[in-house]
Amino acid sequence: MSLFEKFFGNKTSSAQEAKNRLTLMLAHERTINVPYMEAMKKEILEVIKKYTKAQKIDIKTDSNQNFNTLEVEILLEK
C-alpha cells in the first residue's frame, strides 16, 4: 500500500473543504539526531505562507513511542 493510498484511501472529510486544501506532512523517527529540525520546520512554513494566500493554517504535531510528525493543513483562498 503506497503512502498515497494510506493517506487518501478512506477519505471521509467534506469534499468541498478538500478542494481548497493543501496538506503538508513531515515525519521522522524520534531517535533521529536532527538539531536543525525546528529551524527547518519554521523555514518550510515560511515558504508555504509566502506562496499561499491562506485563509487558515492548522499546524499539528504528534508523536508516539517511535515517531514525531508535523502536519500542516492550509485552507486556500477561493
Within 35-74, which residues bind a second copy (CB under 8 A)?
36, 39-40, 43-44, 47-48, 51-52, 62, 64, 66-67, 69, 71
Alpha-carbon span 64 to 4, nearest angstrom: 22
Pick from 58, 59, 62, 73: which is nearest to 28 by CA?
62
Distance CA 23, CA 17 (A): 12
Q: By CB under 8 A, name the one of 23, 55, 56, 59 that touches a second copy.
A: 23
Q: How far is the CB of 2 from a second copy (least distance, A)?
A: 7
What is the smallest separation between the CB atom of 30 and a second copy, expressed in angstroms? Answer: 10
H/E segment holding residue 26: strand 21-29
Q: Does 7 bind a second copy (CB under 8 A)?
A: yes
- Least separation, in Å, of the C-beta of 71 and a second copy? 6
